[in-house]
Amino acid sequence: MPDITRILFQGDSITDAGRDRKRQQANASGSLGRGYAMLAAARLLADHPSRKLKVHNRGISGNKVPDLEARWEADCIELKPDLVSILIGVNDIWHKLNGRYDGTVAGYEEELHRLLDRTRSALPKVTLVLCDPFVLRCGAIDDKWFPEFDERRAAAARQAKVFDVLWVPFQEMFDELAKDGEPAYWAGDGVHPTLAGHQKMADAWVRVTREAMAG
């Protein structure tokens, strides 16, 4: 496993989490947002004080896979990260349901495949982390999301196996947490995590990547 010092979080609003996009500064709380990426970064920085880690967040609210593709050179490849974590997929169906996008499950999988392949080709030694897109059945989430959302999750899981990447099972985690009957406690609108939800995400992400980070 290569030595990991430069870490990049990528995705949509869940990763963005209100970060200051004007600063784009590694390890700065404002630049990392107020969500799981910042919480995971804080854990990594506390656990590895001698590693000189540089943690970046380039999540952008509203992004779909095509949006990542369009900005991938500047917001990923040029940063030369040792580890890239990607959480993407909820807008690919949400915008479709709102009539703002016409992407298909097959298209989502093809685009995700291209993105992962492009990353591996440009950064052969990179450690890739793919996060399971997730929703909780409350707020904006109703029956119209299914079964297509689960089909998109399955597509992401297939690509994780194709590229043999680390997989963070967020949906499984939230399903277990929601068994208490209060899914809104973890994500008020069913999509965007609460503070408690973000903390659980950060904990899960750190668990999955712990071996890779051990060097």
Residue 3 known to be catalytic:
no
pLDDT above 90 for 126? yes
Question: Residue 214: what pLDDT?
Answer: 82
Average pLDDT over residues 140-160: 98
- Counting Cβ atoms within 10 Å, is residue 130 exposed (0-12), middle (13-18) or buried (19+)? buried
Q: Which of 13, 31, 92, 132 is catalytic?
A: 13
Strand order in the sheet with 166-168: 54-57, 6-11, 83-87, 127-131, 166-168
The structural domain count of the chain equals 1
pLDDT of residue 81: 98
Residue type, 100: R
Q: Does some domain include residue 202?
A: yes
Catalytic position from the list 56, 82, 92, 192:
192
Tokens of 162: 């194709």
pLDDT in tens, 151-174: 999 999 999 999 999 999 999 999
Is residue 29 a part of any domain in this protein?
yes
Q: Can you give the CATH number for the domain in which 67 is found?
A: 3.40.50.1110
Tokens of 192: 């965007």
Please check whether residue 1 lies inside any domain of the structure. Answer: no
Confidence (pLDDT) at 215: 65
User: With pLDDT > 70 as the criterion, what percentage of the chain qualifies?
Assistant: 99
Q: What is the mean pLDDT of residues 167-187?
A: 96
Between 16 and 23, where is the model more confident? 16
Task: Output the six-digit token pair for 116.
Answer: 């992962």
Average pLDDT of span 107-114 = 98
Check: CB of residue 163 under 8 Å from CB of residue 116: yes
User: Is pLDDT of 7 > 90?
Assistant: yes
What's the mean per-residue pLDDT of the chain?
96
Q: Please choose, from the candidates 58, 72, 4, the residue with its C-alpha nearest in 3D space to the C-alpha of residue 26.
A: 58
Can you give the residue range of the structural domain that contains 174? 6-214
Q: 191 phi and psi, to 5 degrees?
A: -120, -50
Angle formed at CA 97 by CA 96 and CA 99, multiple of 5 degrees = 65
Give domain status of residue 129, yes or no: yes
Q: Pick the catalytic residue: 20, 67, 150, 189?
A: 189
The reported pTM is 0.96
Q: 192 an active-site residue?
A: yes
Active site (annotated) includes residue 48: no
- Asked whether residue 108 carries a pLDDT value surpassing 80, the answer given is yes
Is the residue at 199 inside a domain? yes
Quick one: pLDDT band at residue 1, thresholds 50, 70, 90?
A: very low
Higher pLDDT, 205 or 214: 205
In a domain, 44, yes or no: yes
pLDDT at position 2 is 60
